[in-house]
Amino acid sequence: MVLKLILLAAAGALGTLSRYGLGVLVEKWAGGPFPWGVFIVNMLGCLLFGLIFEFTKSRADWGPDVQFIVLTGFMGAFTTFSTYAFQTGVFLRESQWGLAMANIAAQNVVGIACVFAGVALGRVVAG
């Protein structure tokens, strides 16, 4: 159990660092008032979550512990929906209705589509 918790924490640290690094890179590249860094991280996170979930469930050699550590540790720290909600709240507080609605629509619609794409890709990769 102790090893599992250490691996979970290490995966979470890697997810956090990955989220931060990718978010900073995208924000530097894209700029502007729309939170592109969070959007890209969330959409990639949705895609990877679906792919990893589907791939690991069909691989007996990976087992439920690996799935738990990767999905809960790495992916749980990598995705940023709390930041998404906060940024949407800022848009709403500042009466930036268009940016708030664009953020809500894009994060949810594209995110769900990416989860389905990740599951489909996971099935192909898993064979």
**pLDDT tens readout for residues 32-61:** 999 999 999 999 999 999 998 888 887 778
Domain range enclosing 31? 2-126
Residues 6+ positions from 46 with CB-CB distance below 8 Å: 79, 111, 112, 114, 115, 118
Separation between Cα atoms, residue 17 and residue 121, nearest integer Å: 25
Q: Which residue has the higher pLDDT, 76 or 57?
A: 76
Per-residue pLDDT for 16 more than 90? yes
Q: How many domains does the chain have?
A: 1
Q: What is the mean pLDDT of the chain?
A: 93
Which of the 8 DSSP states describes residue 33?
S
- Average pLDDT of the residues in 56-73: 86
Residue whose tokens read 């799935």: 67
Label residue 70 by pLDDT band (50, 70, 90): very high
Tokens 């594209």 identify what position? 110
